[in-house]
Amino acid sequence: MSTSTVPKLFGSYTFGDAVMKERLPKAVYNSLRATIDEGAPLDLSIADEVATAMKEWAVELGATHYTHWFQPLTNITAEKHDSFINGTEDGKVLMEFSGKELIRAEPDASSFPSGGLRDTCAARGYTAWDCTSPAFVKDTPSGTKVLCIPTAFTSYTGESLDNKTPLLRSMDAVDKQAKRLLKLFGKTPMRVKSSVGPEQEYFLVDKAKYKKREDLELTGRTLFGAPAPKGQELADNYFSSIEDKILVFMNDLNDELWKYGILAKTQHNEVAPGQCEIAPIFSDTNTATDNNQLLMEILKKVADRNGLACLIHEKPYAGINGSGKHNNWSMGTTDGENLLDPTDSPEKNLQFQLFLACIIEAIDENAELLRASASSCGNDHRLGANEAPPAIISAYLGEQLASVVEQIIEKGEAEAKVFAKVYDSGVTTLPKFTMDATDRNRTSPFAFTGNKFEFRMVGSTQPVSQPTTVLNTIVAEAMCKAADTLEGAENFEEACKEYVRKTLTDHQRVIFNGNGYSQEWVEEAERRGLPNIKCMVDAIPYYKSEKSIALFEKMGVMSKVELEARAAVMYENYAKYINIEARVMIDMVKKQILPAILSYEGALAKEAADIARSSIEPTVQKEMIATIAGKAAELKSATEALEAKLTKAADLSDDLHAWAKYYHDEVFMSFPSVRKPADELEEIVSKDAWPIPTYRELLFEI
């Protein structure tokens, strides 16, 4: 790809602004833009004209089919293709696409998880066009091209069955409440949008080796594997020069992403061997979510055609870093003002202080919910390990803002500020420049990074919508509370200062600028009364606590039944996921590991007998046989114990919480008893005898 063609390639498979402007009648274009930009209600009378333009554009690109593209609670996207063809009387076909087909569809789609929101016998569900995220033509390696129309997915009874609908509602809540506050400062922007820039971490592995690992293929992570002699201790993969094979992959990936109008910007090697990161430029939280869903799909496809496999799992390997998805979150107006920009004088910027206070209150008040929003089966392996923030929610503000907050709490307002330092290396030929006013903190789950917060707890497999919906909603509620208090104030400025002071004082316990990875912080957080929820199963109930229901209902984001459904789906997913892991473990032990060990043991016994015949004592062989036999017996009995637990688990599925809890406490917790003897055996037997690729091969022979 030559650089001159990138602008031409960019967005060429997206029905974006330029195409719409070119192909739609002006009035239709303006009406659509009003919905996209200002949140105006969608004018259904324009649907036919948009559909025709969209179809013509897609057909020119080679599309024969279209699909409503949606995001059910499986956390991946769904599509069901329909061709554009319509039969004519003379036995031919026309390529047609109506406004009605664009706006709504009614896929059966009854097998998606609904958390009890609908019975399979009452399976009607609707998808509805979301014009605020651009349609695109998906180009597959086979050459098949499909027009994908982003849609929301709801049940016949009107409840959302997807991740998009609550996200869109939460964006509306942010818009409404932020505008109330801005109005108090004399500002009336058309719309306030929450934005997110998700940094996506992933691993690459050689495809042939991946195919030999049942655990990687079926669960996304290694369930067995002794550590390689070298890990990440030298940090020599971090930002290292990118190997050619990986660069070819990354270039291929960027071309694909640019085609779909995804602003792929930054790429680098990450800390763990085989680990990389890609970050796009931020956009509104809806588009960013859709783009990230597409990105995760494209990562896998592009890896596959480059002889690689892409692992998006939060913890593919034990003993080295896992992968996260840092959600850089902010709110901005259509006038271009970033509400989290502290400007040059945060100490005097009352508007910034008010938004900051609302955010601090929101995360302190709803720490458990925010923790739940960063839950996935794989993320439990990361949180609290030495690679990701602990499961304790706290906010890092940095030196400058922390000092402003301190002054406000102490004196009611801030006067002094910490000035940004000037970089002076002492070398005359190096440039001098002004540095940022604050350092970074990479151990905080919710860190202020200049003009946005970085929610660093989120897992790499999670849809951006999950944490973002929660973040939007809790901040909207805090802004609503502030607006309720301040709208009637006689002296707004005084009242606002007092509100900021009180809010920051009440919630200062959640601010922590130290090392979030340290044991001292875990103890300090406990003294401060901050929750530390270690596993997903214990976090899920917070989605449907009375407090959460009141919050989501007040903000119009989710109803009680919708929240209960989500909790049910999460329990169910957890149980099923751990069940698959357990079954893969058992399968690998029985079909691969034990047979290989027994053959190796048999061969050693034969050798020992041969040596004994020549009147030499086979001491080493005998010792090894004894060790191997002992560990093999341990492995066999641990595997049988795991099987027994699975049998018991099958009886518990009537109570979803108890079912998931059993899977965590009993099934998941017994994985190490199976893994340990297997990994020890791997370290004893010869390389040729081990039936699956080792960590060394997976991590270093890509």
Closest residue to ligand ADP in the complex (CB): 197
Closer residue to ligand ADP in complex, CB, 452/544: 452
CB of 226 to ligand ADP, least distance (A): 34
**The binder of ligand ADP chosen from 52, 451, 545, 627 (CB under 6 A):** 451
Burial 570-579 (b: 16+ CB within 10 A, else e): bbbbbbbbbb
CA–CA dist 86, 691 (Å, integer): 54
Closer residue to ligand ADP in complex, CB, 47/196: 196
Q: Token pair for residue 617?
A: 């004592």
328 binds ligand ADP, rule: CB under 6 A: yes
Binding part of the chain for ligand ADP, among 174-182, 446-454, 462-470, 591-599 by CB under 6 A, reads 446-454
295 binds ligand ADP, rule: CB under 6 A: no
CB of 339 to ligand ADP, least distance (A): 9
Q: Token pair for residue 519?
A: 């044991």
Closest CA to 532 of 391, 379, 430, 399: 391
**The binder of ligand ADP chosen from 64, 74, 267, 338 (CB under 6 A):** 338
Closer residue to ligand ADP in complex, CB, 351/451: 451
CB of 454 to ligand ADP, least distance (A): 6
Contact status, residue 252 vs residue 306, Cβ threshold 8 Å: yes
462 binds ligand ADP, rule: CB under 6 A: no
472 binds ligand ADP, rule: CB under 6 A: no
Contact status, residue 608 vs residue 621, Cβ threshold 8 Å: yes
- Burial of 427: CB neighbours in 10 Å, binned 0-12, 13-18, 19+: exposed
CB of 326 to ligand ADP, least distance (A): 7
What character string, x for contact with ligand ADP (CB under 6 A) and - otherwise, covers 135-154? --------------------
330 binds ligand ADP, rule: CB under 6 A: yes
Closer residue to ligand ADP in complex, CB, 450/556: 450
Distance between start and end Cα atoms, the chain: 24
Closer residue to ligand ADP in complex, CB, 202/329: 329
Backbone angles phi, psi at 479, to 5 degrees: -70, -35
Strand partners, 324: 459
What character string, x for contact with ligand ADP (CB under 6 A) and - otherwise, covers 232-271? ----------------------------------x-----
Strand partners, 309: 205
Closer residue to ligand ADP in complex, CB, 132/328: 328
What character string, x for contact with ligand ADP (CB under 6 A) and - otherwise, covers 344-383? ----------------------------------------
CB of 333 to ligand ADP, least distance (A): 12
453-455 and 325-333: which strand pairing? antiparallel
**The binder of ligand ADP chosen from 109, 147, 216, 279 (CB under 6 A):** 279
What character string, x for contact with ligand ADP (CB under 6 A) and - otherwise, covers 391-430? ----------------------------------------
**The binder of ligand ADP chosen from 93, 122, 235, 281 (CB under 6 A):** 281
Closer residue to ligand ADP in complex, CB, 196/262: 196
Q: Token pair for residue 412?
A: 């009611």
CA–CA dist 632, 397 (Å, integer): 52
CA–CA dist 535, 206 (Å, integer): 32
Which residue reads 């996200």 in tokens? Answer: 167
Contact status, residue 67 vs residue 107, Cβ threshold 8 Å: no
CB of 400 to ligand ADP, least distance (A): 17
> HEC profile for 201-219?
EEEEEEHHHHHCCHHHHHH
Please report the sign of the dihedral spanned by the C-alpha atoms of residue 594, residue 600, residue 603, residue 605: negative
Closer residue to ligand ADP in complex, CB, 341/413: 341
Closer residue to ligand ADP in complex, CB, 267/673: 267
Closer residue to ligand ADP in complex, CB, 125/198: 198
CB of 139 to ligand ADP, least distance (A): 24
Closest CA to 262 of 303, 302, 295: 295
What character string, x for contact with ligand ADP (CB under 6 A) and - otherwise, covers 185-204? ----------xxx-x-----
- Give me the DSSP letters along 628-639: HHHHHHHHHHHH
Binding part of the chain for ligand ADP, among 72-80, 322-330, 486-494, 684-692 by CB under 6 A, reads 322-330
HSE at residue 531, side-chain half, CA atoms within 13 A, is: 16
Which residue reads 């151990």 in tokens? Answer: 443
Burial 3-35 (b: 16+ CB within 10 A, else e): eeeeeeebbbbbbbeebbeebbeeebbebbbee
Tally Cβ neighbours within 10 Å of residue 374.
28
CB of 398 to ligand ADP, least distance (A): 13
**The binder of ligand ADP chosen from 136, 282, 512, 695 (CB under 6 A):** 282
Closer residue to ligand ADP in complex, CB, 332/390: 332
CA–CA dist 576, 304 (Å, integer): 27
Helices and strands, number each (H, E), in the chain: 24, 19
Closer residue to ligand ADP in complex, CB, 133/328: 328
Closer residue to ligand ADP in complex, CB, 287/330: 330
Please report the sign of the dihedral spanned by the C-alpha atoms of residue 303, residue 304, residue 308, residue 314: positive
Element containing residue 69 per DSSP (H, E) = strand 65-69
Binding part of the chain for ligand ADP, among 360-368, 449-457, 516-524, 662-670 by CB under 6 A, reads 449-457
* Size of the residue set binding ligand ADP (CB under 6 A): 16
Please report the sign of the dihedral spanned by the C-alpha atoms of residue 553, residue 556, residue 562, residue 563: negative
CA–CA dist 54, 135 (Å, integer): 8
Give Cα separations from 302 to 10, 77, 211, 252, 277 (angstroms): 17, 17, 16, 7, 15
**The binder of ligand ADP chosen from 452, 544, 566, 675 (CB under 6 A):** 452
CB of 16 to ligand ADP, least distance (A): 18
Binding part of the chain for ligand ADP, among 327-335, 405-413, 617-625, 646-654 by CB under 6 A, reads 327-335
Closer residue to ligand ADP in complex, CB, 368/454: 454
CB of 34 to ligand ADP, least distance (A): 24
CB of 266 to ligand ADP, least distance (A): 6
446-448 and 395-396: which strand pairing? parallel
125-129 and 136-139: which strand pairing? unpaired
Q: Token pair for residue 214?
A: 């049942």
Binding part of the chain for ligand ADP, among 253-261, 324-332, 419-427, 693-701 by CB under 6 A, reads 324-332
Binding part of the chain for ligand ADP, among 241-249, 275-283, 408-416, 677-685 by CB under 6 A, reads 275-283
User: Which residues form the interface with ligand ADP (CB under 6 A)?
Assistant: 195-197, 199, 266, 279-282, 328-330, 338, 449, 451-452
